[in-house]
Chain A
Amino acid sequence: MSGNACSPLREPLVLGGKKLGDITQDVCGSIEGKPSTLWWFGFLLALTVAGIGAATMGYQIYTGIGTWGLNKTVGWAFDITNFVFWVGIGHAGTLISAILCLFRQKWRTSVNRSAEAMTIFAVICAAIFPFIHMGRPWFGAFWALPYPNFRGPLWVNFRSPLLWDVFAISTYFTISLVFWFIGLIPDNATVRDRAKHWLRRAFYGTVSLGWDGSVKKWNHYETAYLIFAGLSTPLVVSVHTIVSMDFATSVIPGWHTTIFPPYFVIGAIFSGFAMVQTLLLVARKTMRLESYITVNHLEVMAKIILLTGSLVGLAYGTEFFIAWYSGSQYEQFAFINRATGPFSWAYWIMVSCNVLSPQVLWFRALRRNPVVLFIMSIFVNIGMWFERFVIIVTSLHRDFLPSSWSYYTPTWVEAVTFIGTFGIFFTCFFLFIRLLPAIAFGEVKGVMKWGQPKGHSHDAGHSHAHGEVKHA
């Protein structure tokens, strides 16, 4: 119970009776020694998969989109499904670091660093797809950006949701990256101070921007952190809202739906938390971080997954209701076709994974069981990928004119490209946990009693109010 800055009635956020020095040692120690064999194995595997993925993308860009299974009717499938999937994954990171920060949810401190890293890597993976899905990415890479040029009236089209995506994703990526970097500064300084080799000192010295732990610096730091949390908060809502408009502003039945913005945001948070769980469950086991990423943390996240999963289920139901209520035969057909047409298998995978599987979390024992949570999080990841697949492919493959109805079968190129992005994601993640403090220990210390201002009783309920002020 000692060492925690919360009510004695609550379970502590950090277990194991850790002292401040223990925390520093636990986190920094893991990046100071030589990497373990397990790390090497994981890293090289991820790098190999990433390399194969990159080579496949190169082959596809050179040969043409024809190497994919797309056709005259289905113009998007794996590409945009993967894009939305990865963007969605990123959302949990921003939600944890920004919104939960503003809401002073202290449990976030031990998971926010990895969640933010996940956001950045997921957005990198997501950004690959808009690039490679273009027929001529070598032109698209710069024609889709608005900048002064000599091409006369040919500028970008501000009416196109794809252009909104360009802005949404680049803003999201920039802010997430800066937010993450600022959060890292005090911890990087600690690593610098512990470093023995001049190269380490130089590297961590650079990325800690001359941090000296003075009160003035802390004051600036806290202010900046809050500002970025404030800036990031609307992005949680806006990015996926804009992504959803790729579909919502179109005329295709199944896409042309006003429910999409909230539906997509909830889905993104849902999938993001599932991915955070997947990663943390692995990390806490392999890196022995059970004291920091406690079962309590997992349970809180499981509750969010249960809530968002049920909201997603509500959205699925609402779509069907509105399709019936609209009286539009095209709209009605699109939804009946989803559930009963040639792609019904994908629809029912989606419903089982997203709506049914989280229902086990109503039981306390199950949502505190890491094994159950891990399996469930994988189901949700799969289900949310299929959600985007269902929206994109089943809407396209049978739209207005039955003469154009078709089917879609992916090729190996699409499958390998998708797997390759996991390689890229995990390569980044493995590098991150070796190079940077994977837990924001500066903040973790702040949620322990030593982090509280002197003169206040650590067991006073209102100590929450000061929780964000920390000392090294």
Chain B
Amino acid sequence: MQIEFNQNPRPAQDDLADMPAELRQEMERVSKSRRDFMKVTGMAAMGAVLAGCTAPDRLVKPLLKKQEHIMPGVAYDYASTCQACSANCGTWMKARDGRPIKAEGARDNPLNRGGLCARGQGQLWGLYDSERLKGPLQKSSPVKWEELDAAVSGAVKGGGAVLLTGTVNGACAREQIRRFCEATGARHVAYDAISAWPIAAAHKDTHGAAVLPRYRFELAEVVVAIEADFLGSWISPVEYAAGWAVNRDLRNGRRTLSKHFQLEANYTISGANADERIKLPAAERGALLTALANKLAGNTRFGTAGAHSVPPEKLDDIVKAIKDAPRKALVVCGSDDVKHQKLVNAINHMAQAYGNTVDLRNVSQQKLGNDDTLAQLLKDLESGAVKTLIVWGANPVYELPEGAKFKELLAKVGTTVAISAFPDETTTECNWRASADHALESWGDFEPVRGLHSLSQPLVRRLYDTRNPLTSLLKWAGHADGNRDYREVLADYWKANVLQGGAWEAAVERGFVDAQGSVVTNMPVMNEGAATGLNAGALATGDGLEIVPYQSVLMGDGSQANNGWLHEAGDPLTRATWGNYVALNPLTMKELGIADGDDVTLSAEAEGRKVELKLPAVRQPGLAGKSAAVALGFGRTQAGKIVYGMGTGALTGAEATIGANAYPLLARGKVVFGTVAKSGGNRKPARIQEHDSQEKRPLLKETTLEQWLGKPDAGNDQHLPPANLTLWPRWEYNGHKWGLVVDLNSCTGCSACVVACSVENNVPVVGREEVATRREMHWLRMDVYYEDDHKDGLLTENENPLAGFQPMMCQHCENAPCETVCPVIATSHTEEGLNSMTYNRCIGTRYCANNCPYKVRRFNWFLYKHNDLTMNLALNPDVTVRTQGVMEKCSMCAQRIYEGKRNAARAGVKLPDGAIRTACQSSCPTNAIAFGDVNDKDSVVTRLLKDPRNYAVLAEINTRPAVTYLTKVRNRKAPPAPADGHGGGH
């Protein structure tokens, strides 16, 4: 049934059209800028929340009296900086009626170029988390700021103070820390939970500067990644993925592909996307790197390489690829052994990567932690030299491998202060807790890459009695700036040191200042001697299984543990949600007699610590044999309610938390060995996808570069029935006809789109138990399929399958099976080719979901409540919240389509291609998703629909979807086995 909508509806309040031209211009300007945030905020809608705030420093006006710059009900974007991790991508935060509702990647930011990862998207949850620290505390009792300030400034003046932070890279922020240390004699120690210090330490020896280089994947024709999940979690994944995708994108007439080798013990999304994935047990890293360096050098000056399991011909392939691409190869390594990193430097040097793909001028400042100073701090804590410890932006009790010991040491320190927005394992151990602003409430600056200065601005007035952390430091240092609004301090600093004559307001409007070109450095030169004779080629030895702790794509270092969106998005490779697990190779499982989902106990000894983790075991094809991989970042105990999986609440305390803390397994530079044994019980992880083989069906089509060059529709030459067979008259699309094309070759499976979709469309988070009942509500899911030459889910002896990812959402079929079966026409075809849901009309027969061949429809089994009332402020007002008993699904972001059409109508122009971007599209770090008007001859989607790689999933049942895919092309030799002559590699 077709429901008619106006082609380009006028805004409901037509007075906008009659607005004077200058006012309209002003509106457009404001939509990008954020001139005076205080005027913008303080909405009547926020009254309840604001009532708790004290002493507003600007007048708060209700929207009843209209503000000059803001239109009620219109969302505006404000440039800011993502602080979900220290990669510090640029964001455009969408705020409506004074409250932020969505984070988008800043498209003009040279770092992330428009993408924003799942964790960046998830920041919003933290802002509205009602379990935040709501005011200053002494232990757990509320105090006045004056009391806290008096106590802390008194303590820091007593000497022996240490400021312990995570990475702080902003120029102004670092200046404030310097002033604090100068005034108080305090020492600043920075560390990163997931350290990159070994890379910096190696460069200190080989290049004379302890820096983390900026890796320029966009310049690399050959990428060799060794245990570095640069597409998923390593250092700056969005930046790297965007760069990597540049040389993988075949949509613009490009006829070559970069060659990506991934050598790893764990199975990561980088490995899944590689052209060649080679299993490399952690114990063999040194041997492999030594062998690789020797081969490149043509001698054995890097020492003797131990016997590693990488086949010699594969090693030759890598060497040849690097040699064939001088200045265009890039080797990255995630090993935490400094010797390994020196070998990597030597390899990159031989590949002439320095100055090209490895940038030592605009170095990365995304990880500034220094493990040496951290070690010194631990010693000082033990000796009692530290009298006052201030912890900001770090959670050492949880995330240091020796966290338990740190907790004991903390008790010995006279004054302990935590500056934190959230309760965490460290904060709850500190005497004084200075409640900090959330990233979306405070001013701040960042310099993720030397010369790229980035700003963060508040999107909402403080929800609680919190303070900018730097204001706190200045106050405690007794500095006059401690009494000024930090915005003024920041603006003054930037005007004097960063802007170089540029306007402050323009910088705020844009969100960053790119001064990368003006960075002057004496380019460090490789000291080749420092990398030779390392004798790092021996194999690490130990008893039992190699333990491989890793950062998961969604949970990262665990700082966002109290975030339902991230927990529920599910790991892209195992699709397990809500908690970590012990990943084992299917063969290892068989050997140990462990079945998928069995409870196991992992016992190991790392740096003398005995560690025992009780977790479920999960089958992970392709994991290096004799390895057990465990994700870090789970098993938080003091993060809030979410870490209990949003269950029925029957269990509380440590036994109910989802997952276990794997940080104690980290042993800097050493490989940890341990055992995994069945512990009885079978607490299966809650999984979104339970079957990971395509069963030889042509769903995720794949081919090789060689085949594609010879035949543009390689892998996509499926025989299809005639498309005009239908019972009903064909639709006519006289205006727009929306289409969406997903390039499977660019998609990395990072799942940013999954979280973006949930945030944009108010998709409920249902919790661990409901996911286990297979009722997660995602409108967009990330299907993963492993290459299948296996039976019964158990792969053959030497299995090392690559995997492909397929974002799957409503396909908006022209011949939609769901539409004909609904008895009340609650789902219908629009004249623009969308399949739309009328929630109010739905009676919930679920017939549509049953008849959907793509199984993308989601039913509201219950009345899903949000975590708490403040969480409801994160809801997108443009999208209806669905009630119990109603079906829902992807609307292709209908609200964004209407907004785009409205804006075009208001401006009196034809809707430009690209003016409307769906939430999934705009989150994608690799730009894999294109959306537009198929009736527009010149649109990107029209062009992509003609691409011989284009195909519709299940085209053989003639649903004629509006969502189509482009065949994945890998740069590898072995052609994938044809699936029954239908093409498709998996």
Instruction: List residues of chain A with CB under 8 Å of any chain B CB.
Output: 63-66, 69-73, 75-76, 130, 133-137, 139-140, 143-144, 153-157, 159-163, 166, 246, 249-252, 329-330, 333, 396, 398-407
Contacts and interface: CB of A to CB of B under 8 A. Distances in A.
Given A64-B860, A157-B825, A252-B853, A401 B843 contact: no
Contacts of A144: 823-824, 843
Interface in B177-192: none
B243 to A, nearest CB: 29
Given A135-B860, A333-B695, A400-B699, 17 more contacts: A70-B859, A70-B861, A75-B850, A135-B884, A154-B838, A154-B841, A155-B825, A156-B823, A157-B1, A246-B847, A250-B817, A251-B851, A251-B959, A400-B697, A400-B853, A403-B783, A406-B690
Nearest to B846: A75
A110 to B, nearest CB: 41
Contacts of B824: 140, 143-144, 154, 156-157
A70 B774 CA distance: 9
Contact of B822 (A157, A166, A246, A398): A157
Given A64-B861, A252-B851, A252-B853, A405 B691 contact: yes
B774 A406 contact: yes
B551 to A, nearest CB: 25
B773 A71 contact: yes
Among A70, A155, A396, A398, find the residue whose CB has the most chain B CB atoms closer than 10 A. Answer: A70
Contacts of A396: 850
Contacts of B862: 63-64, 66
Given A157-B824, A250-B851, A402 B695 contact: yes
Contact of A66 (B689, B775, B858, B886): B775
Contacts of A401: 699, 783, 808, 853-855, 953-954
B629 interface: no
Nearest to A160: B823
A243 to B, nearest CB: 13
Interface in B971-986: 980
Given A73-B774, A144-B823, A162 B695 contact: no
7 contacts: A135-B842, A140-B824, A154-B824, A250-B817, A251-B853, A400-B854, A402-B691
B775 A72 contact: yes
B847 A162 contact: yes
B716 to A, nearest CB: 17
B694 interface: yes
Contact of B776 (A72, A135, A153, A159): A72
B849 interface: yes
Interface in B669-703: 689-697, 699
Interface string B773-809: 1111000010111000000000000000000001010
A140 B845 contact: yes
Nearest to A396: B850
A160 B846 contact: no
B821 interface: yes
A73 B855 contact: yes
Nearest to B770: A66
Contacts of B558: none
Contacts of B403: none
Contacts of B857: 72
Closest 8 CB pairs of A and B: A135-B844, A135-B885, A66-B861, A140-B843, A75-B846, A71-B774, A404-B855, A403-B783
B3 interface: yes
A72 B849 contact: yes
Interface of B: 1, 3, 689-697, 699, 728, 770, 773-776, 781, 783-785, 806, 808, 817, 820-825, 838, 841-847, 849-851, 853-855, 857-863, 883-887, 953-954, 957, 959, 980
Contact of B823 (A71, A76, A157): A157
A431 to B, nearest CB: 32
A250 B785 contact: no
Nearest to B694: A402
Contact of A135 (B773, B820, B886): B886
Contacts of B823: 144, 156-157, 160, 162-163, 166
Nearest to B854: A401
A251 B817 contact: yes
B884 A136 contact: yes
A133 B843 CA distance: 10
A435 B507 CA distance: 88
Contacts of A404: 689, 854-855
Given A65-B885, A75-B859, A402-B695, A160 B808 contact: no
A76 B850 contact: yes
B362 to A, nearest CB: 41
Contacts of B692: 402-403
Nearest to B766: A66
B842 A136 contact: yes
A399 B691 contact: no
A159 B815 CA distance: 13
A252 B850 contact: yes
Contacts of A400: 697, 699, 853-855, 954, 957
Given A76-B846, A135-B843, A136-B885, A402 B820 contact: no
Contacts of B696: 329
Contacts of B699: 400-402
Contacts of B884: 64, 135-136
A161 B850 CA distance: 13
B821 A250 contact: yes
A366 B803 CA distance: 60
Nearest to B821: A160
Nearest to A246: B847
A72 B855 contact: yes
A330 B695 CA distance: 10
Nearest to B777: A72
A72 B846 CA distance: 10
Contacts of A71: 773-775
Nearest to B3: A153
A403 B808 contact: yes
Contacts of B820: 157, 159-160, 249
Given A160-B822, A403-B781, A143 B843 contact: yes
A145 B304 CA distance: 82
A347 B388 CA distance: 71
B955 to A, nearest CB: 12
A72 B980 CA distance: 29
Contacts of A398: 691
B785 A403 contact: yes
Contact of A329 (B697, B825, B849): B697
Among B781, B844, B862, find the residue whose CB has the most chain A CB atoms closer than 10 A. Answer: B844
Contact of B821 (A70, A143, A161): A161
Nearest to B858: A72
A246 B848 CA distance: 11
Contacts of B953: 401
A343 to B, nearest CB: 15
Contacts of A63: 862
A429 B853 CA distance: 42
Contacts of B863: 64
A63 B842 CA distance: 17
A163 B825 CA distance: 11
Contacts of A160: 820-823, 847
Nearest to A157: B825
A139 B842 CA distance: 8
Contacts of A163: 823
A329 B849 CA distance: 22
A342 to B, nearest CB: 11
Contacts of A157: 1, 820, 822-825
Nearest to A62: B884
B850 A65 contact: no
A154 B825 contact: yes
Contacts of B806: 403
Contact of B690 (A64, A246, A250, A405): A405
B272 to A, nearest CB: 15
Given A251-B957, A402-B693, A136 B846 contact: no
